[in-house]
């Protein structure tokens, strides 16, 4: 019920209601049996599964109505590439998004919690990380400021 209400709170379209029900459904089945079932496939595949489920949910959230959502789903699962709807610009954004989304999965930093042991930080790694963050921020700000007008998400509500 909470997720249905959350979907309605985001907007008065059926796509938002379905989005809330969708996330509520997966949360409920995760608590009932899905967590135990997916624990056998390993962390990497659990992350991929979660990414897939959440991505499908965002189609519902982003669509203006149910017909548009169904059209997106149809294109996503048709696997026909007669027409290219991926521009080079979109592919570059998707590539960066995938890389940045999955870095935390593979990035391991060991920090001991003992007060008497010094933290083992590499100065070069820290500077490189800061530079990557600043570069990513610059790319994001440039993308946002150069794009067309996007209305506030709750404008229709």
The catalytic residues are 10
Q: What is the largest CA-CA distance in the chain?
A: 63
State how far the Cα of 91 lies from the Cα of 72, in Å rounded to an integer: 17
State how far the Cα of 39 lies from the Cα of 107, in Å rounded to an integer: 21
State how far the Cα of 10 lies from the Cα of 28, in Å rounded to an integer: 21
Q: Helix, strand, coil: what percent of the chain each, to 5? A: 70, 0, 30
Please name the residue that has the structure tokens 């459904």.
25
Cβ atoms of residues 20 and 5 within 8 Å: yes
Q: In this structure, what DSSP letter does residue 83 have? A: S
């Amino acid at each position: 019920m909470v997720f249905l209400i959350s979907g309605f709170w985001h907007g008065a379209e059926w796509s938002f209601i379905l989005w809330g029900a969708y996330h509520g459904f997966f949360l409920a089945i995760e608590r009932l049996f899905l967590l135990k079932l997916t624990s056998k496939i390993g962390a990497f595949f659990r992350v991929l599964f979660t990414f897939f489920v959440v991505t499908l949910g965002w189609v519902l959230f982003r669509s203006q109505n149910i017909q548009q959502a169904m059209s997106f789903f149809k294109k996503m699962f048709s696997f026909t590439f007669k027409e290219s709807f991926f521009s080079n610009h979109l592919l570059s954004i998707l590539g960066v998004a995938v890389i940045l989304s999955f870095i935390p999965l593979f990035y391991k930093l060991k920090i001991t919690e003992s007060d008497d042991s010094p933290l083992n930080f590499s100065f070069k790694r820290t500077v490189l990380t800061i530079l990557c963050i600043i570069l990513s921020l610059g790319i994001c700000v440039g993308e946002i400021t150069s794009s067309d007008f996007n209305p506030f998400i709750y404008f229709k509500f």
